[in-house]
Structure formats: C-alpha cells, structure tokens
Chain A
C-alpha cells in the first residue's frame, strides 16, 4: 500500500464524489417528481396521460441505464440535440428512476382501501380534503420503504456515468489504474468513497423504516 499515492490523489476522489452526489441528488429529486406525476396520472386514471405513463414506465424499467445514457449522449446529437455529460447523467437518472418511483408511489396510493375513500366522501369531504387528510398520509407511510430503496438504487446507478465521460468516481479510478498502475490504492479509495456516500444513507433509511414499522403497529 502506497500511502503517499493515496494522499496525493485523494482530492481527485473528493472532487469526483461531490460530482456524483450532486448529480445523484438532482437526478433522484427529478425522478421523484416524474414518478409522482406518473403515479397521479395512473391513480386518477387521467386519459392519455395514463397511457403515456404506462408506456414510459415499461420502457424505462426494462432497459439498462447505460443503454439509455448511450442513446442520450451518442445518439441524440445526430438528431441535433447536444447534451453535456452532466445533463445526460441527470436526465438518464430521472428517466430510469421515474418509473421506479412511480411504482412506489402508486402502490402507496393503492394501499388506501376503497372503504376509506367512500367513508370520507359520505362524510362530505371534498376531493382535495380527501387526498390531504386520508390518502396522502397513509400512502406516504406505505411508500417510504420502497422510495428509500429506490434512492439507494439510483445512487448506486450513478457509477455508470463514467461511460458518458463524466468525471465521476469510476472515471477517476479507471484513470489512475490506467496511468499509474496502482490498482490496489485506486480501488481502495473507490470503495471507501462509495461507502462514505452510501453507508450513512443506508443506515439512516433502515432506522427510518424501523420507526415507521413501530408507528404502524
């Protein structure tokens, strides 16, 4: 193990980790927004929007992120749409994550029984009130575990970004391996960087889930 090498190149990893986190967070938030729209379109059975959402969900769920990114980064410029690596990363992550988020939200919304909706209506609640006081609080509690799992999944998927020449953690590691052949050190820092990003989130989420479970029982 070469400590000097680690000290010298650790800043590169810090920089790359920042990029990974920023793009991961923006992509995840956008994915949640896309997912929410799709879930609502399907839940309220809005014509046209609902069919579009279904097609989109199938396309996004059944293809790998790297292929989606290649299409965005290498394919679209030929159609006159030129995107930067960063934009590709964010759009790709939102495209992939949107469908996963949609399924999570939808299963939450659907978990609220028909009896509850009917009782709320017969109590004279308007649609907005019904959503606000009855559906959303219960749906949110049901969705949380799978939304958390999606967030971690999406953060892990950011590792693919190096394929569209985004200078993320994988990119730095591959560069260092190729240039200096210090494979052990480069990989060690790579693993450490991902652990530092993902482990705290994963622990936080499992605490959150346990709390929710206790609250529900």
Chain B
C-alpha cells in the first residue's frame, strides 16, 4: 500500500515538474511580452492581441494535439510528450502572463509616472522604486492563480501518452484488480485530493494577499 502511494507521488511529480518548468518559462517570457504589450505602437499591439486571442480561443488539449501530433508530422521534428507539453503550456502561460503584466502596468495611475519624473527621478529609478513595486503587488495574486490553473491543466498530459499520476493510478488499479477490485474509487479519490492539496494552499495564499492589500488601502 505504501509502495503504491509512493508510485502515485512519483507520477504526480511528472505533472508538477512539467508545470513548474512551464511556469518558470512563462514568467520570464510573459514579463517580456507584457512589457512589449504596453508599447504604444499600434502594429505591435495588434500582433500581441492576435497572439493572445489565438492562444485563448482553443482548448489547451487541442494545442497539445497540434504540437504533439501535427508539428511532428509537418516538420519531422520529433518532440517527446513532455517537451510538447512544456512547449504548449509555455506558449499559453506566456500569453496569459503577458496579459496580466500589461493589466498590472496599466492599472498604475498616470500621475505616478508624472510625479516621479517631476521629482527628478531618472527613468530607471522611477521604474525600480515606484512602478515595479506597485505593479508587483497587483500582479502577485493573479500570477499565483495562473500557476494553479497551469498545474490543473497539466493533468491533461496523460491524454498524449505521458505516464503521469492518472496513468500510474490506472496501472495500480489494473495490477491489483483481483485482490482489490474496488481500488479505482480509492485511487482516483487519492489523486483528486493530491491535486487539491497542491492547489488549495496556493489559492489561499493568493486570497490572503488580496485581503491584506484591501485592508491596507
């Protein structure tokens, strides 16, 4: 029994690893994208917008299929399941992250920029001391929510054949079919609560941050 639990955990680690790598990439690329999105150039704005909408309109599973089956077929480049998953979740996460960064910057009132400049701060000083701290405060809860969304979405990767927690669960159920015919209900309940135990604390943290900010305002 203990052994099976460890196996489930190692399966869970596969999805968590995919989400952690994708989240890390998305944070970096999304921040850059967000900076680009605040540009006043119309063409740049439209291109970013189109990218975001194209990524958003399709279910993530469709994107997984396109990269896992389609790109391989079209270009001959052979991605493994995990690589495909990281590519898809990074493209998606970066788009969402970019939109969050853009929103956080645009939520900062114009007078903050103007007053810092009129106080004689240089532009780097203004960004470092005035703008970034405020933007970060708006951003943090949303980024945590995005991370939980990404962790939940990585549960889909079993469909493109990655041996993660759902697959391991199925293996355990099949292996114990005769001794424990009712294992399915316990195994899937365990997986359900594993995801819950990862995502629930994150949601709580994000909510606590929002509450604290509201109180201080």
A residues neighboring B (CB under 8 Å) = 58-59, 61-64, 66-68, 70-71, 74-79, 156-160, 162-163, 170, 173-174, 177, 183-184, 187, 190-191, 194-195, 198-199, 202
| Residue contacts A-B, CB under 8 angstroms, 30 given | A58-B196, A59-B196, A61-B199, A62-B196, A62-B203, A63-B192, A63-B196, A64-B152, A64-B153, A64-B195, A67-B191, A67-B192, A67-B195, A68-B192, A74-B173, A74-B188, A75-B188, A78-B181, A78-B182, A79-B185, A158-B59, A159-B59, A160-B159, A162-B159, A170-B62, A170-B65, A177-B69, A183-B69, A191-B58, A191-B62
- The answer for the CA separation of A202 and B56 in the assembled complex, in Å, is 10
Asked whether B61 lies within 8 Å of A198 as measured between CB atoms, the reply is: no
Does chain A have a CB within 8 A of B66? yes
Number of A-B contacts (CB under 8 A): 109
Question: Could you tell me the dominant secondary structure of chain B's interface residues?
Answer: helix
Which residues of the other chain, A, contact B65 by a CB distance below 8 angstroms? Answer: 170, 173-174, 187, 190
Asked whether A187 lies within 8 Å of B66 as measured between CB atoms, the reply is: yes
Instruction: Fill in one digit per residue for B172-208: 1 if any A CB lies within 8 Å of its CB, else 0.
Output: 0100000001111111110110011001100100000
Does chain A have a CB within 8 A of B123? no
Which residues of the other chain, A, contact B199 by a CB distance below 8 angstroms? Answer: 61-63
- The answer for the CA separation of A207 and B186 in the assembled complex, in Å, is 46
Which residues of the other chain, B, contact A78 by a CB distance below 8 angstroms? Answer: 181-185
Beyond A78-B183, A159-B62, A195-B58, 17 additional pairs, beta carbon < 8 A: A59-B196, A66-B166, A68-B192, A70-B188, A71-B189, A71-B191, A156-B59, A163-B159, A170-B62, A170-B159, A187-B65, A187-B66, A187-B70, A190-B65, A191-B58, A194-B62, A198-B58
Asked whether B156 lies within 8 Å of A66 as measured between CB atoms, the reply is: yes
Asked whether A190 lies within 8 Å of B195 as measured between CB atoms, the reply is: no
Does chain A have a CB within 8 A of B158? yes
- The answer for the CA separation of A173 and B59 in the assembled complex, in Å, is 14
Asked whether A63 lies within 8 Å of B195 as measured between CB atoms, the reply is: yes
